[in-house]
Structure 1
Amino acid sequence: MRAPGVGRIIAAQLTARFPNGMSSLAILLHVEHITGSYGAAGLVLASASVGQAVAGPITSRWMGRWGMRRVLTLTLAVCVLSFLGLAFLALPLPGYMALGLIAGLSTPPVQSAVRTIYPKLVNSSQLTPLFSLDASLQEIIWIVAPVVITIVSTQVGSQQGLLLVAAVLVAGGAWFILSPEVGRVRIPRSRRGFGAVVLKPPVLLATVIGFLLIGACSAVEVGVVKTFDEGGLQAGLVLAVFSLGSLIGGLASGRVPIGPWAMARRLAIVAVGLSLTMFSLNVFWLGGTLIAAGIGIAPALAVLFAITSASVKFSETAEAYGWVGTGQLIGAAAGSAVAGFLIDRSGSPAGAYLAATLFAAVGLIVSVVFVRAFPDLRHRDASPIPDTEAVPLP
């Protein structure tokens, strides 16, 4: 944090990404309020999620072609207009779905941008701790944002909830875009074809394991909401504790060297903690087991960010993080769907915790089976590979 610009860019990117923790609930509550149907709201939300998943690698790659500020400004403007349309326009369901899709497609690629900037802000020995700090602090978004948007949308109005999302998008996005660090860092244009970077083993592993890890987290959220559907405060507190565990784990592991087995050890913590949730649905038991499981989440995400950065050229980092983000978005949708299916089949929230445990266990198995594909960063830094090219000599 003492390195010049680090504190500013962390604060700016957290503010710019804060709407990510509000937009889903804001859309869900508004469309349900307008149509009276959770099914219709779910379709609009699914459209937005599909848009985000598709756009992630594409808009991230555009930053190497047209520059970060241009791409971020364009996507921000379209995204804000989409939310204003959702708030003010009276449309049939397909119209709301189209606006949801546009909002997802135009989500500013702030996460890819900031993780591309980090290697230019700190020296090589500080990069892995910075990734860990970033993974930890992003938990603030998932602790605070859902509470804020739920209060505004239910107590003030669902339209005002969407307007709040648009306002934070503008404020946070402008702060990030105007940050000097964003203007100073230029991403070289990638010389490889679109999608080639995801075929690199560490990037592919980061994408697959991110899918499984976020799938587990999403299944937990469904299980907690189902467990305490008659007591929303308890559900919120248990999920906050889950995120708090992740925050603590990320801060504690910031300077732990990342070797090939680092991911397996951190996912083992998550898998064991989640497996214990199935023994009791008592609020204190769930809180204790989830804080234990959460201790491994931010450290595991830090490994994902570090191995991605260390395995690609600087010109490919933004697109690589776009693919990793897409894997996580698909994992969130898959985790929710599988958890919901198991709850319906069993009639008990335990089905969701089983789903979460299975997602985490598969992630652990993948990290063990393919351990040789993980780069050893214990004696090297996580900086991207420099872009080089032939220099003609006279």
Structure 2
Amino acid sequence: MFRSLRALWGGRHVRRLLPLSLLARTHLSALPVALSFLIADWTGSYASVGLLSGGMAVGQAVAGPVRGRIADRDSLTTVLFATGVAYATGLGLLIAVAGLAPASLWPVALVIAFCTGLVLPPVSQISRSVWPRLVEDDQRDALYTLDSTGYELVAMAGPLLATTVVTLWGGPAAVAVCAVLATGGAMVFALVLRAAALEHVEPRGQAEPGEPAKRRSLLRDSVFRRAVLVAFFLMAALFSVNLSLVAWGRDRGEATTAGVLIALFSLGSAIGGLAVVGRGRKQNSGRSIGVLVVGLAVLAVLLPPLSEQTPVWTLAVATALTGTAVAPSLGASNARIGDLSPPERRAEAFGWLATATTGGVALIMPMVGWLLDEWGPTASIGLGAVSALVSAALAVSLPQPVRSEAAVPASEVN
């Protein structure tokens, strides 16, 4: 069953770069939990948590395509080093404001969160733009799904790490740990890219002189726009789960239990993704996201205020089963973006994907926070189910991909 997985892992650069890329993204799953405790303890409101998380996501969304264009033409090492340092500085300022300023000054933290989002190290979009250069054409979908699956595996550690640090030392320490992971991971990944002669996403010789100034926006293609919107609504749905479970655990005084449930969501995703990669079959994103819709609807029924006495083991099973649709959905969505983008513009294309995913988070987080304050987790998870339903409908509307680009085998990458 896992023959295709072994063949995919056989590439020298895949074995080196994929794990480092995943480790450099560990902070992404830990930071929402760490920030939730830092800001909620400071302001006493989940709405403020949603607004600050949304502000950071807006910053990430605004800068995504810009970072992509820079990566397409400049040194990836420079981009990753510069953003890593700036990002850690921004998180440090958030810790300082939350610790020293009165809660009434939370709008200042909103500005800092937005600016911090602007300089998020673009490890995700850079790595996804590099993957097609490392494998044969028929392995591309599998590598994107393995990327999503691997991220779910490391994402299990993020919430557990954050809640453990919160329990031992508090929210500020948890955010500080995220800053160290983000900066250190980006720098190490950048150095290995340079050593593998992959410091530039695509060889410069493929672009014609003057082309960058004249080329049309990728968003002018209606199919590409729909593919980006699939990711927009999908990520909005997924982020509704984390904050809802954090709120459920905090209200019950069981922060660690919430971290375990979030980790189980990621574990289910990893299992689902490995099953897809092992079968070596192309994944149907519309079907996978449809499964996610059903799972989120079930979770909404099991959580307060609709259900006040649901056993934790029932929530654990439902959360893990719902998660099995996540990595296959993300992998298929990412692969479609790679299919639809010109090789010399992949970093820009994945920059638009980053904009879409963070834009989805920016849209839903304030709404999730408000729903949690007013009605509780049933409403916030229900909103995520609606968002996933829109994503599934858009995925079904996309045409089947046609690939004409010749892939570069991993053995030919110096």
TM-score range relative to shorter protein: 0.7 to 0.9
SS in 2 for 1:22: helix
Alignment partner, residue 50 of structure 1: 58
Q: Shift in Å at residue 198 of structure 1?
A: 2.6
Match of 1:375 in 2: 401
Answer with 247-256 or 218-227: which moved more. Answer: 218-227
- Quote how far apart the aligned CAs of 1:59 are: 0.8
Distance verdict in 2 for CA 1:359–1:69, change over 3 Å: same
- 1:352 matched to 2:380? The reply is yes
In structure 2, the partner of 1:389 is none
Counterpart position of 2:181: 168
The offset of 1:178, in angstroms, is 0.4
* Structure 2: 5+ residue stretches without partners: 1-8, 304-309, 409-414
Give the aligned length: 377
Cα deviation for residue 143 of structure 1 reads 1.5
Identify the match of residue 272 of structure 1 among 294, 318, 333. 294
The corresponding residue for 2:29 is 21
Q: Are 1:103 and 2:103 an aligned pair?
A: no
How many Å separate the matches in 1 of 2:216 and 2:173?
39
Contact 2:51 2:366 in 1 (8 A): no
Q: Secondary structure at the match of 2:212?
A: coil
Aligned ranges for residues 193-204 of structure 1 at < 5 Å? 196-204=217-225
**Residue number in structure 2 paired with 1:309:** 338
Kept in 2, the 8 Å contact 1:309–1:317? The answer is yes
2:196 equivalent in structure 1: 181
- d(CA) in 1 for partners of 2:245 and 2:23? 27
Q: 1:68: Cα distance to partner?
A: 1.4
Q: Which residue of 255, 259, 263 maps to 2:285?
A: 263
**Structure 1 counterpart of 2:83:** 75
- The question of 1:66 aligning with 2:74 is answered yes
1:8 aligned residue: 16
Residue equivalent to 2:231:
210
- Which structure has more relative contact order (CA 8 Å, sep 6+)? It is 2
Q: Does the 8 Å contact 2:54/2:363 carry over to 1?
A: no
Identity of aligned residues (%): 27
Q: 1:236 aligns with which of 253, 256, 259?
A: 259
Decide whether aligned partners of structure 1 residues 276 and 85 sit closer, same or farther in structure 2, where only a CA change above 3 A counts: closer
Displacement of 1:45 in angstroms is: 3.6
Cα separation, partners in 2 of 1:107 and 1:382, compared to 1, 3 Å: farther
Q: Which secondary structure state, in structure 2, belongs to the residue aligned with residue 142 of structure 1?
A: helix
Secondary structure of residue in 2 paired with 1:251: helix
In the alignment, the residues of structure 1 paired with residue 108 and residue 53 of structure 2 have an alpha-carbon distance, to the nearest angstrom, of: 13
Larger CA deviation: 18-27 vs 90-99: 90-99
Report 1:286-365 matches (<5 A). 286-343=315-372, 347-365=375-393
Which region of structure 1 is more displaced relative to structure 2, 350-359 or 125-134? 350-359
CA RMSD of the aligned region, Å? 3.0
Instruction: Tell me, yes or no, if the aligned pair for 2:46 and 2:369 is still in contact at 8 Å.
Output: no
- Larger deviation, residues 113-122 vs 77-86: 77-86
Per-residue CA deviation, residues 149-203 of structure 1 (Å, 9 max, x unaligned), is 2322442244433432232233212210100236454434663668711333443
Report Cα offsets for 1:243-276 as digits up to 9, x if no partner.
Answer: 11111111111254437xx122212221222233
Name the CA shift for 1:35/1:350 in 2 (closer, same or farther; >3 Å): closer
